[in-house]
Amino acid sequence: MSSTTASAAPPSGTLTQGHKKVIFASSLGTVFEWYDFYLYGSLAAIIAKQFFSGVNETTGFIFALLAFAAGFFVRPFGAAFFGSIGDRIGRKYTFLVTIVIMGFSTFLVGVLPSYASIGVAAPVILIGLRLMQGLALGGEYGGAATYVAEHAPHGKRGLYTSFIQTTATLGLFLSLLVILGCRLYLGTEAFEAWGWRIPFLVSIVLLGVSVWIRLQLSESPLFQQMKAEGKTAKTPFRDSLFSSNGKLMLLALLGATAGQAVVWYGGQFYSLFFMTQTLKVDGTTANLLVAGALALATPFFIFFGWLSDRIGRKKIVLGGCLIAALTYFPIFKALTHYANPGVEEARANAPALVIADPSTCSFQFDPIGKKVFTNSCDIAAAALAKAGIPYEIQAAPAGTTAKVSVGGTEVPAYEGAGLSKDDAKAQADGFGKSLKAGLTAAGYPEKADPARINKPMVLLLLWLLVLYVTMVYGPIAAWLVELFPTRIRYTSMSLPYHIGNGWFGGFLPTISFGLVAATGNMYYGLWYPVVIALMTFVIGLLFLRETKDVDITQ
């Protein structure tokens, strides 16, 4: 099979047709890989019903978020494993392997029997497939970004790696479009029953296209030169981590990728979760609005990548972190005002209270999914948080069974410890029905009223959130590539990137949901991305250097 051979970029700063093909092929393959990865996040609510139906609805949704986060948890391990291979064997074949793993793992989710068919084996296998996806993605991004950067001419690395940066958003955008198309064609009922599998099955076609494209490519010219000179690293993981380079990796994590990650996931994923789970905007409308914001903002990835070649990577990335931290609270409050004003009105007229012993109210976050929150305060708080109802906790004497008070109605919760599965379901159903009736009587809308959604304003707010994403994400690949030497670049840039995005970013929905459930404040979950973004701004400003003029061939 023929392959595109691209020499090092010409001194003039122009790219040949071969180099353009490298950028296109790397970016397109990565789009498909992000598409595979984010299908799960976009369909988390449906997947909770299909694979976690053995527990109550709220717990099932938390488990679904944890399974989503599991893919992020293992990304750094994939970065270490595949990054080491990429630095020893080559960039091309490493990220060819990762896309095959990703594609098959995603396809298998589409044919996996539900909990109703095979019981507990279904969520176990699902989590296993998510772990495979996470490992594959951990090896993918660093390879694609390094590959493109090592082909790009000096002075244009920000611009050309920014095409790789569009791939995560384009992959999410593609997944939303496929989901919307299936939902509209099949109808909501059929889609939630079986049609949700179609987007996963489509991934096998995308896998075939991606593999064929990447087989046309040749190895990075800088890696070929380094290999010919016998300068490749024999132990890239050890050389990256256990040397002075390890301190630089830690600074890159805390002063660049951690803040970039929470702004990325806050602007694209948490906004979608907030719209659908907290504000109860119907899935089709929310997805269309987010897709519209993504489409309008995506060109700014290229713009900020280009701008970083002129004024520097550091200014733009840290500036995006700071602006996001300062404006997240007003933007999300405005989303509530324009997307579901009924919640604001009901809260003013009939505030909800959880009357409970405060010492029994937990912070409902368990990253390994082993802890069960069964006391009455946690059950009441989680139900209100899941319903998108803001509330306050009012202290009650020790030993009191929690209850929800809203609009003059009191709904007792229940203690879930020691109940059988059937009894727990009966109690949950009874509590849920009573709570729903009380909330409805108090004026809380079960769903956002489509006639009252100010779609232009919501679209503008979502666009602003994604614009912040383009600021922090557009230049980050070039910044990371330029921070580390060629012989250990794949490993050294992949680890801080995937720890930042996999752990700091990937756990954002679960941590934020836990914060909301613990406090009753529907905006309290925003403190997590705000604090992390501010930390990154300070550390990056003080300890990381500007790199736009670095010669990466040295």
Residues 104-118, mean pLDDT to the nearest whole number? 88
pLDDT tens across 191-216, in order? 988 999 999 898 888 888 878 877 77
User: Residue 168, class by beta-carbon neighbours within 10 Å (0-12 exposed, 13-18 middle, 19+ buried)?
Assistant: buried
The domain defined by 17-339+451-543 carries CATH number 1.20.1250.20: yes
d(CA 380, CA 412): 9
Identify the CA nearest to 469 among candidates 331, 332, 316. Answer: 316
Q: Given pLDDT bands bounded at 50, 70 and 90, which one contains residue 523?
A: very high
Q: Given pLDDT bands bounded at 50, 70 and 90, which one contains residue 84?
A: confident
Q: What is the DSSP string of 515-544?
A: HHHHH--TTGGGHHHHHHHHHHHHHHHHH-
pLDDT tens across 243-279, in order? 677 888 899 999 999 999 999 989 988 898 889 888 8
| φ and ψ of 403, to 5 deg | -145, 160
Q: What is the pLDDT of residue 330?
A: 97
| Residue 49 burial (CB count, 10 A) | 18
pLDDT tens across 112-139, in order? 998 888 888 888 888 888 888 888 877 7
Identify the CA nearest to 236 among candidates 480, 482, 485, 497. Answer: 485
| Residue 243 burial (CB count, 10 A) | 13
- Poorest-pLDDT segment among 11-20, 144-153, 161-170, 194-203: 11-20
In the block, tokens 């990304």 appear at: 75
Task: Tell me the whole-structure pTM to 2 decimals.
Answer: 0.80
Residue 26 has pLDDT above 50, yes or no: yes
Q: Given pLDDT bands bounded at 50, 70 and 90, which one contains residue 467?
A: very high
Structure tokens at 338: 């324009």
CATH 3.40.30 occupies which residues in the chain? 346-441
- Overall fold of domain 346-441: Glutaredoxin (3.40.30)
Helix (H) or strand (E) holding 352, with range, is strand 352-356
Q: What is the pLDDT of residue 62?
A: 64
d(CA 158, CA 152): 9
Q: Report whether 148 contacts 18 (CB < 8 A).
A: no
In residues, how long is the chain? Answer: 554
CATH 1.20.1250.20 occupies which residues in the chain? 17-339+451-543
Q: Which segments of 230-312 does DSSP mark as H helices, in order? A: 236-241, 244-252, 258-265, 271-273, 283-297, 299-311
d(CA 460, CA 455): 8
Structure tokens at 494: 């992949």
Structure tokens at 409: 């109605």
Q: What is the pLDDT of residue 534?
A: 98
Identify the CA nearest to 389 among candidates 445, 333, 325. Answer: 445
Helix (H) or strand (E) holding 392, with range, is strand 391-395
Q: Report whether 479 contacts 317 (CB < 8 A).
A: yes
Q: What is the pLDDT of residue 201?
A: 92
Structure tokens at 418: 């020691």
